[in-house]
Every structure is written in C-alpha cells, then in structure tokens.
Amino acid sequence: MALTRIGLAGLAVMGQNLALNIADKGFPISVYNRTTSKVDETVARAKAEGDLPLYGFHDPKSFVQSIQKPRVIIMLVKAGAAVDQTIETLSGHLEEGDCIIDGGNEWYENTERREKAMAARGLLYLGMGVSGGEEGARRGPSMMPGGSFEAYKNIEDILLKVAAQVPDSGPCVTYIGKGGSGNFVKMVHNGIEYGDMQLIAEAYDVLRSVGKLSNAELHQVFSEWNKGELLSFLVEITADIFGIKDDKGDGYLVDKVLDKTGMKGTGKWTVQQAADLSVAAPTIAASLDARFLSGLKEERVESAKVFSSAGLAGTLSGAGGHPPVVDKEKLVDDVRQALYASKICSYAQGMNLIRAKSLEKGWDLKLGELARIWKGGCIIRAIFLDRIKQAYDRNPELSSLLVDPEFAKEIVDRQAAWRRVITLAVNAGVGTPGMSASLAYFDTYRRESLPANLVQAQRDYFGAHTYERTDMPGAFHTEWFKIAKQSHL
C-alpha cells in the first residue's frame, strides 16, 4: 500500500470517530490501538461507512512506518500516564521532524513538559483540545491546537477540512498559540460548559418546581428558546431530553435519571486556575460546587427527612401555607431572560481567565478568534458566540464582556426579570447557585464602592497588613486595638 497522510493512535469512541472523519475528508489514515480488537472494529466501520481510506495496524513499528514523512500522529488516549506511555511506544520509531499531537483533555503544563522533551529529540509536539463529543469528532469538531507552529502547519490542511464548518465564519479551528495554550483554552471551554449546564439545570428546576411545568411543556419551552437568543447545542439537546419517554417503564426518561453528576476534572482545574490567577469565576465555581453536592445523594435523602419533619418541605409554600401563585407564561419569559443574563456573566468569567493566563504566559491569545472557533462543533456552540466575537472585534482590549455596550444594555434590560426569578426561587426554597452567583458577580462588578474597606481594616487590625487610603497616597497602619482599648476605658 502507499504511505498514508496521517496516523491516529487510541481508538476509543473519540479516536474512532475522528479517524473516520479524517478518512471521510479524503486523507488516507493509519490507525493503531494497544487493544487490537479496537483496530479491527475501526477498520470494519471504515468499510461499512463508505470504504474509507483507513488502514489498521496491530504493532507500533509498522503503524509508524506506514505514514508519509514528516509523520504526523494524533493520540487520543486518557490524559496523564497513558499519554507518556503512548509517546514512549511511538517515539522510538519516529525520526527527526516527525510530529505527535495529543488530542485529549490534558493538563496544559504536561503538554509544555512533553513539548520540551520532544524538541530535545528533534520531534515536534502539539496539545490540541477537541470538543464536540463523539458526534462532533465524526462530523466536525471544534479544535484548539497549541504548541509548535511548525507542527500546526504540517497538519493545517487536514484540520481545516475536518473541523466543523460554519457559514460566514469558516472552519472551527485555528492555531491557538505557544506551549500548552490549546489545552488551557479547551480546559476553560469545559469550565464555561459546566456553568452553562448548571444554569440550564436551574432554569429547569425553577420552571418544574415552582412553575409546575410538565415535561411536555418544558420540551415546548426549550424548543422555543432554541429559536431565539438562547439558540445553542445545550438548549437544543435539553429540549430533546424532555421529549423522550422511558423505554423501561412509564413516564419520561429524565425523571428516572439519578440526580448525581459525574465529572472528569477540567471544571475543577478551571476553578483552581481562576484562584491561582486571582480571577473571579463564581458561576463556574458554583457549578462545580453543585456537582459536589449532587454527589451527596444519600446525605441529601437523610437531610430532606430531617428538614421535612421540621416543617421544611422540598419546595416551600407561599404566604399562608399555600403554594405560590405563578403566571406560567410570565415565569417562562423571566427565566429565559435570567438564563441569558447569567450566561453573559459565565462567559465573561471564562474569557477573563483566558486573558489573564495569556498575559502571564505571553501567549497573545485572540479572544474573538476563540469565540469564532466555538461557534460550531463544540459543546458550548451557540448563536451567542457571534455576539462575543463582535464585542472583541470592536475592542480587542475589552476588560470584560459586561462593559461591552451591547452586552451591558442586554443585562440592564434583563436584570429585573433576573432578580424576580432568583427572589421567587429563594422564597420557594429552590437553590439557584449559578444564577445567584452570576447576579452577585454583576452587582459587585458594577459598584464603584464595595465593603472591602472593612475587610482591609480588619486585616490591618489583626495582622498589621496595612491599608491604602482614598484621600492620600501611601501604605498606612493603625494600632486599632490600642485605640479601641483606650476608648473603652
């Protein structure tokens, strides 16, 4: 056989689908997996899906040697030790100028470490975030490659064809920047995704628990929302979920799904990075906390009994012990506005985090371009991203999406509805941690003066940390304790 254009190692769901996508776009591809049955399965799929130019190999040497030089190999294996093992397996057969691309959700510093180690051996390296799940991988994902620019140029023609294609804005891929920037951007993308999913879940909870909407009504509401400003992949699939009946019993499947949310770690990394960089990301942090609390199912069941016996039911009654009277149509419109305003805050936090890291590392990341490549293929794809791209096109140095004139107006127009939803939820005993965190973020960010003056005075009182004054320059320390003691005498 003739040499193939590219190789892919790691044939779990994402790897298989991306390999088939590459072959589907006319690029002959070699595939390899340590478990050989996965290789045979992928080859069989390629034959069944149109006799695609995909070739399977059971040993690393013949796999590597089947690829044209300079060789490019994408790895899609579990982050961490498995990546190092796969690199070790493959690199022994690679030659100077060949390239390895890690397409997994890897910690960005691991990518930077590996890029240096590969460079010492004359090899090129990229860390490439891939978003879109299995369907995206097969039909067109959003891809975020960072690291060696030379390596990116070697594969650019393939990535431009394989990525999701969005009319008027092009393929959902771009060279992100140096080092681990591609992995970092994908990590924050996932953090924003956590926030998005939590906010949608809260909208559902308020409509279901307070508004008493049925699944059929929720299906209709989310379908309608997906035709307007909230048009997005996550709102679309949420509408679908509400319409699916249980195939193993009565009713709707969503009601039978256990309320415990899993996670892979990227959301936690995002919150940790926000703390390290002193960037406020309360909506994303609240979504992470919500997942932690969801994991305490047994404790929550016991807690519900304790507080129910104390007179607190799951959803509280309104005045006089009667359920609150809610105008469903008005509530649906208010929740739509609250969800949109909360999303602006969540995306603003994610973008601020990317910008802070870019400044720290000298990556020179283009925030508007990131919004563009997230418009298709990825999990957070939404019409809303067009607005974000335009905001950064208007002002590349924008300090926050909240102060972009258009977004600022949209938040002002929606803030009354936003407050009504959170007040209603609080009074009904329904937690809305994401929406509440977003509103508190907005309310804090828009205030010229905060009570931080008291916190700083406290710090100086007990720890002599000093403080600045509003009326004169310099650092000051006051012996608060002595003064207070004297005044008590």
352 among annotated binding-site residues: no
105 among annotated binding-site residues: yes
395 among annotated binding-site residues: no
Task: Write down the residue that tokens 């088939």 correspond to.
Answer: 20
179 among annotated binding-site residues: no
The number of residues making up the chain comes to: 489
219 among annotated binding-site residues: no
33 among annotated binding-site residues: yes
| Conformational region of residue 23, where left means phi above 0, alpha means psi within -120 to 50, and beta covers everything else | alpha
DSSP 62: H
61 among annotated binding-site residues: no
- The DSSP line for 100-145 is EEE-S---HHHHHHHHHHHHHTT-EEEEEEEESHHHHHHH--EEEE
Whole-number Å distance between alpha carbons of 340 and 335? 9
79 among annotated binding-site residues: yes
Whole-number Å distance between alpha carbons of 131 and 145? 11
Distances (CA, A) of 489 to 482, 483, 485, 486: 11, 10, 7, 5
The count of other CB atoms within 10 Å of the CB of residue 308 is 11
DSSP 224: H
255, two tokens: 């009601």
174 among annotated binding-site residues: no
12 among annotated binding-site residues: yes
194 among annotated binding-site residues: yes
* End-to-end Cα spacing for the chain: 96
57 membership: H or E segment, kind and range: strand 54-57
- The DSSP line for 290-344 is HHHHHT-HHHHHHHHHHHHHTT--SS---GGGSPPP--HHHHHHHHHHHHHHHHH
387 among annotated binding-site residues: no
154 among annotated binding-site residues: no
Coil, helix or strand at residue 381: coil
417-440 in b/e form (b: 16+ CB < 10 A) is: bbebbbebbeebebebbbbbbbbe
309 among annotated binding-site residues: no
Active site residue 212: no
Q: Where are the beta strands (DSSP E) in 153-231?
A: 165-166, 170-171
11 among annotated binding-site residues: yes
- Asked whether the bond before 167 is cis by omega within 30 degrees of 0, the reply is no
Q: Among 106, 193, 202, 389, which one carries the catalytic annotation?
A: 193
488 among annotated binding-site residues: no
75 among annotated binding-site residues: no
465 among annotated binding-site residues: yes
* CA 326 to centroid of chain Cα atoms: 33
Q: Which residues contact 49 (CB under 8 A, 6 or more apart)?
A: 20, 24
Q: Among 38, 186, 343, 389, which one carries the catalytic annotation?
A: 186
Distances (CA, A) of 219 to 12, 162, 193, 222, 238: 32, 32, 21, 5, 8
15 among annotated binding-site residues: yes
Whole-number Å distance between alpha carbons of 297 and 465? 43
Q: Where are the beta strands (DSSP E) in 64-105?
A: 72-75, 99-102
Active site residue 49: no
35 among annotated binding-site residues: yes
77 among annotated binding-site residues: yes
228 among annotated binding-site residues: no
Residue 318: Cβ-neighbour burial (10 angstroms; 0-12, 13-18, 19+): middle
Whole-number Å distance between alpha carbons of 141 and 164? 5
371 among annotated binding-site residues: no
List binding-site positions.
10-15, 33-35, 77-79, 105, 131-133, 189-190, 194, 264, 291, 459, 465
Active site residues: 186, 193
List binding-site positions for NADP(+).
10-15, 33-35, 77-79, 105
List binding-site positions for substrate.
105, 131-133, 189-190, 194, 264, 291, 459, 465
